[in-house]
Structure 1
């Protein structure tokens, strides 16, 4: 890849913000899905940083100080979560009670994905590495 224009924007992802209505409920849900423990007594609105491996962050934001905020989830995935085994991930998400909004789709032998929603109906994608 060559960069053809000079820009003050760094070509790197920072943090993805997920907008939620109930921060505690969302932190509980994401911690269950992503397999980490959280002390909910230490939870402080309006944001919670999800412990994510890698350089891109994930922050849940309940907009507690923004009276004009109206949550409008996207009908398309806002980000994807990587999985090694799509079938195992699908069963896990389904058994967790999350709603699947797009069944597993496969392209070739090694690439597959499905979509599901978080408690605020934000669409997420599980995708093979």
Structure 2
């Protein structure tokens, strides 16, 4: 079998989430992830959420692209990892965040889906 040489690294580098209100979304995601929100660090058109992992999250309000039309994804964009799915579910529910799929369990694997402020569907998963 021949090995294909590619200049592309086999790694997801960053996830972009398209938002309508950058400051409001930056604050919402910061609270969701339990990280400090520093309003002065938010500057349109993008905000990079300070992530402690290899894959980053960038919020993008497209202020430099006036023809852009936001179309929230009703399919899961990505998932956040948790150790305790029930604790995470209660946390999301207690914050009044819209849950679009209750906890599904398949053996040891469990997940649920919820929406961000713009209606993008995200997942929380224990694996």
TM-score by length of 1: 0.93
Aligned-pair CA distance for 1:42 = 3.1
Give the Cα separation in 1 of the matches to 2:7 and 2:93: 43
Q: CA deviation at 1:40?
A: 0.8
Name the counterpart of 2:73.
74
The answer (yes or no) to whether the contact 2:31–2:37 under 8 Å persists in 1 is no
1:96 paired to 2:95: yes
> Structure 2, unaligned stretches of length 5 or more?
none
Distance 1:3 1:73, change over 3 A: farther
In 1, Cα distance between equivalents of 2:82 and 2:5: 35
Q: Which runs of 4+ in 1 moved over 3 A?
A: none
Mapped to 2, the partners of 1:32 and 1:94 lie a distance apart of 14
State the superposition RMSD in angstroms.
Answer: 1.5
Q: State the partner residue of 1:47.
A: 46
Deviations 1:60-113 (A, max 9, x none): 0000111110011111110100001111100000111110001100010x2100
Provide structure 1 residue ranges, at least 5 long, that are not aligned to the other structure. Answer: none
